[in-house]
Amino acid sequence: MAVISEEEIQRLLPLVSEERREEALGYKHLFGQFACLKSYVMLREMLERQGLTHPFHFGYNEHGKPFLRDHPDVHFNLSHCKNGIAVVVSDQPIGIDIESYREASDSLLRYTMNEEERRIIQESGDPIRTFTEYWTKKEAVFKLRGTGITHDLHELLLGDEHVTTFVNNEKRYAYSIATHTRIF
């Protein structure tokens, strides 16, 4: 595991595009800078393992979802939180979200979850973990669709997307992967 330090940030900076360097340095905290840089370095390594060569030319849809201009048949998504980084590459549209466990206020639950989801969260043995799982599912679907958070959050998980969620209780995070066809 990499040590998160100013030296590590300086080591990673030349490995990414100027655009990504500016984005990374816009984060106030060292971990945000590191995660921003490291996620793109991980993506680059994964794309190169697929036989693609650097430099990669990124485009962005109207909602900001990145894509590879020169390889429209290669799909990717990335996410990071204070406890982890998640990167995925696929031959089909895909969305991924990773979140550290966090407690949700009643107003946030009402805003983001439908009645059944709120009930499941509140009755679970670990409502913080369960809320985080649901939130990563929703965020992964938004990222799959490439729309950002633009639709009714209450109905979001009632669509045709397939979502698989993984949790790491030791490190206190969950991540979800959303696809149009079942891959897990």
Q: What is the average pLDDT across 34-53?
A: 95
Model confidence at 64, pLDDT cuts 50, 70, 90, reads confident
Residue 31 pLDDT > 60: yes
Model confidence at 1, pLDDT cuts 50, 70, 90, reads low
Give the pLDDT of residue 171: 95
For a pLDDT cut of 90, what percent of the chain falls above it?
80
Give the pLDDT of residue 2: 64
3-state SS, one letter per residue, for the chain: CCCCCHHHHHHHHHHCCHHHHHHHHCCCCHHHHHHHHHHHHHHHHHHHHCCCCCCCCEEECCCCCEEECCCCCCEEEEEEECCEEEEEEECCCEEEEEEECCCCCHHHHHHHCCHHHHHHHHHCCCHHHHHHHHHHHHHHHHHHHCCCCCCCCCCHHHCCCEEEEEEECCCCEEEEEEECCCCC
Mean pLDDT, the chain, integer: 93
Q: Is the pTM of the predicted complex or chain greater than 0.75?
A: yes
CATH architecture for the domain at 58-184: Alpha-Beta Complex (3.90)
Q: What is the average pLDDT across 2-8?
A: 87
Q: What are the boundaries of each domain within the chain?
A: 1-56, 58-184
pLDDT digits (tens, 9 = 90+) for 78-129: 999 989 999 999 999 999 999 999 999 999 999 999 999 999 999 999 999 9
Q: What is the average pLDDT across 142-161?
A: 88
